[in-house]
Chain A
Amino acid sequence: MIFEDYEKPTWLRMNLRAVVGRAYPRIIGANREPSWVFFETFLPILAVSAYVYFYTAMNAPDQFIGYVIIGGAMTAYWMNVLWSMAAQWFWEKEMGNLELFLIAPISRMAILGGMALGGMFTSTVRALSTMIAGILLFGVAFSLHDPLMFIGIFVFTMLALYGMGMMFASLYMLWGREAWHMSNLLTEPIYLASGFYFPIKGFVHILGQPGFWVAAGASIIPITLGLDAMRQVLYPAEVDGFLPLWVELLALVLLTGIFLILAKLSLEHMEKVAKREGRLTMRWQ
C-alpha cells in the first residue's frame, strides 16, 4: 500500500488542526449521550434553585437572585476546568491517549487548547441553560449597559481560567491517582472563597480587613474577579464591587498571560520529569 503524498502543513496550520481535532470529541461526545445533556442542564438548576429559595425566604433584594444565577452559570466553567481539563490529562494517560498525543509532531499546548475549546463549548451550553432557567423560572432581570465591557470580562475570565486549567493538567500528569482528590479539594472551598453565590465584598463587610485579604487571595482564581466584574456590569446600580471594574479587567488580562505562560513552562517541565521518571508510561501509579 502506497499513499499519495501531500504538502506538509505549516507549524501553525498543523497545530490549529490539532486544536480542532481535540475539541471535536468534547463537542460531539457531550451531546451524543441524551442522558448527559439532561444531567448537564437540569441538575445545575436544582443546585441554583436552593440558593434562590434561600434568598427569597430571607427577603433579600432581587439582585441577589441574579447574583446566584450568574454564579450558577459560571460554576459550569469551574467544574469543567477541574474535572474535564486538569483531571482529564490523567485520564488520557489511563486510556492510552496521552502517549499518542505526545508522540504526535504537535505542540502539547494545541492538545490542551483543543480540550479547553471543547470544554468551553459544552460548559456554555450548561451555563446558558442555567441563565435561561433563571430568567424563565425566577424572573431574573439583567441590565446590560456596557456589552463590550461584559464581553471583555467574559473572554478574559475564560482565557485566564482555562490557562489555569492547562497548568493544572500538567501538574496532574505527575500526581497520578491523587489528581481527583485534588479536584475534590478545590471544588467546595472555591465555591465559598470565589463568591459563587454571593458578592465577595461580603467578606470585607463581615470580617473587615482580613476579609479583604481572603477575597484578594481568592482572586488568584480568575473566576473570582470574573464573577465580581460581571455582577458589576449587569447590576451597575446595586452591586458593591470588590475592586473597581477596570482594575478587575486588568487583573484578568494579567492572570491570562501569567497562567498561559505558566501552563507552557510547567507542561515542558513536567513532561521532562515524567520522561525521566518513567511516569508517562506507567499506569495507575
Chain B
Amino acid sequence: MTKYAVELKDLCRTFKTRAVKGTRKKQLVTALDGVDLRIKEGELFGLLGPNGAGKTTIIKILSTLLFPTSGEAKVLGYDVMKESHKIRKVINMVSGGESSGYGLLTVDENLWMFTQFYGMPGKVARKRIDALLRIMELEEKRNVKVRTLSTGMRQKTNMIRGFMTDPSVIFLDEPTLGLDVNAARMIRKFIKNWIRAKPERTVLLTTHYMMEADELCDRVAIINEGKVLACDTPENLKRLVAQESTLKLEIRLVKDIRAFENIKGVKHFTYDHNINAGLTKLKFILDDDAIVSDIVSAVPKSGSKIVSVEKVEPTLEDVFVTLVGRGLVNDI
C-alpha cells in the first residue's frame, strides 16, 4: 500500500480582509478552493504557481500554523487539526527571504539555538551543524554575526536550520527566491542529494521558477487561484502541450506590441523587453506550425526587425501558460 507523506482532501481556506475604511464590511478572500493532492513518501514534489495562487497557504496549513476553513490535511497520516503535536516532531520548514534567528548571534549560535527547540543533545547538534556548514561552504562564517551575512549566505543558514533536525517531511517555500545563480544552484544540489540519501524523506517545494521545478521535482502540481489545474511528472505535463509548437523570436526593441495580438492560431504569447540590449524576446505557443509565417510578417508591422528565430520543445512554462492563461513574468 502506498504511504502518503501529505494528503489534502477538498481543502479550502478563506481569509477575511480588514474592513474598508468608513465601512464595517469585510471581504472574504478565497486562498484555497477544494484542493486535492497526495504526495507519496520519498517524493520531491513541486507546487508551481503565481503569487497569491495558494502555495504558501498550503505549506502553512501543513506545518500546523494555519487551520483549514474546511476539508482535510494530513502529514504522514496525522491530521493537522487533531494531531499537530505529532506532526511537529517530523517536519520542518524553510522559506525564501526568511530572516529568522537573531542578528547579534553568530551563525553557529543561531543554529545551536534552533537545535535546542528540538531537544537535540549538544554533541549531536555540533556534529550536524559542522557537517551542514561544510556542505554549504559556510565553515568560515560560523563565528560571524548573522546580521552581517549576505542574502545568499543567510538563506544557506536557513537551509541548515531546516535540515539539521532531519525532518521526515520538509516544506520549502520558494527557497531560492532572490538568490544569485551560484547560491541557488548550491541549494538545489543540496536538496537533490538530501532526498537521494534516504528515500523515505519527502520534500514539498513551492517555486516561481519553472526551471527549478523541472530540474528537481518528481511531480509538479500547477496551482492558480487556489485550485490545482494539473498534477503530474514534468515530462507528462510537457506532453500536454507537445502537440503545440513553441516559437521564440528575438527582435529589435518593439514599438507596438499590439501587432502580435489576435494573430489567428496563436494560443498564448509572452514577451520580455531588454531595454539595455535594445531587444524584445517573444514566445508564442501555436496551434500549428503554419502560423509561423503570419508571426514573421507581423514583425515589420510592429516597427521592428528580426534578430533570431527559434522553434523550441515545450517546457513547464509552456504548460503553465496554457493552463493558467498567462506567464509568470508578463501578463498578456
Contacts and interface: CB of A to CB of B under 8 A. Distances in A.
B224 interface: no
A7 to B, nearest CB: 8
A17 B99 CA distance: 23
Contacts of B114: 21, 100, 104
Given A99-B65, A103-B88, A21 B100 contact: no
A212 interface: no
A25 B88 CA distance: 23
Contact of B109 (A24, A33, A99, A277): A24
Contact of A6 (B15, B16, B98, B121): B121
Interface of A: 1-4, 6, 8-9, 13-15, 17-18, 20-22, 24-25, 28-29, 32-33, 95-97, 99-106, 111, 275-278, 280-281, 285
B149 interface: no
B116 to A, nearest CB: 3
Contact of B63 (A15, A32, A103): A103
Interface of B: 13, 15-16, 18, 56, 60, 63-67, 85, 88-89, 91-93, 95, 98-102, 104-105, 109, 112-121, 124, 127-128, 131-132, 135, 161, 166, 193-194, 197-198
A29 to B, nearest CB: 4
B119 A106 contact: yes
Contact of A17 (B60, B104, B119): B119
B69 to A, nearest CB: 9
Given A25-B105, A96-B95, A96-B99, A102 B117 contact: no
A8 B13 CA distance: 35
Contact of A3 (B60, B92, B166): B166
Majority-rule SS of B interface residues: mixed
Given A103-B91, A275-B67, A25 B113 contact: yes
A33 B147 CA distance: 13
Contacts of A276: 67
Across the A-B interface, give the 5 residue pairs with the lowest CB-CB distance, nearest first. A21-B116, A14-B119, A104-B117, A9-B119, A29-B104
Contacts of A18: 116-117, 119
B67 A102 contact: no
A139 B60 CA distance: 58
B201 to A, nearest CB: 10
A25 B132 CA distance: 22
A99 B93 contact: yes
Contact of A21 (B65, B113, B131): B113
A14 B88 CA distance: 13
Contacts of B128: 3
Q: Which of A24, A276, A278 gathers the greatest number of chain B CB atoms within 10 Å?
A: A278
A281 B60 contact: yes
A95 B13 CA distance: 25
A280 B65 contact: yes
A205 to B, nearest CB: 47
A237 B98 CA distance: 58
A9 B117 CA distance: 11
A280 B275 CA distance: 41
A274 to B, nearest CB: 9
Contacts of A100: 93, 100, 114, 117, 161
B155 to A, nearest CB: 12
A2 B104 contact: no
A106 B66 contact: no
Given A6-B120, A105-B88, A111-B117, 5 more contacts: A6-B124, A21-B117, A24-B113, A104-B117, A278-B13
A277 B102 contact: no
B194 A1 contact: yes
A103 B64 contact: yes
Q: Which of B93, B104, B132 gathers the greatest number of chain A CB atoms within 10 Å?
A: B104
B226 to A, nearest CB: 14
A96 B117 contact: no
A45 B100 CA distance: 34
B92 A103 contact: yes
Given A96-B95, A106-B117, A275 B100 contact: no
28 contacts: A1-B131, A1-B135, A3-B131, A6-B121, A8-B119, A17-B119, A18-B117, A18-B119, A22-B113, A22-B116, A24-B113, A24-B116, A95-B100, A96-B95, A96-B98, A100-B117, A101-B117, A103-B65, A103-B91, A103-B93, A104-B114, A104-B117, A104-B118, A105-B85, A105-B88, A105-B119, A275-B64, A280-B66
B104 A25 contact: yes
Contacts of B91: 103
Contacts of B95: 96
A85 B220 CA distance: 43
Contacts of B92: 103
Nearest to B92: A103
A255 to B, nearest CB: 29
A285 B18 CA distance: 9
Q: Which of A17, A103, A275, A281 gathers the greatest number of chain B CB atoms within 10 Å?
A: A103
Given A95-B99, A105-B88, A28 B124 contact: no
Contacts of A4: 124, 127
Nearest to A20: B116
A15 B92 CA distance: 18
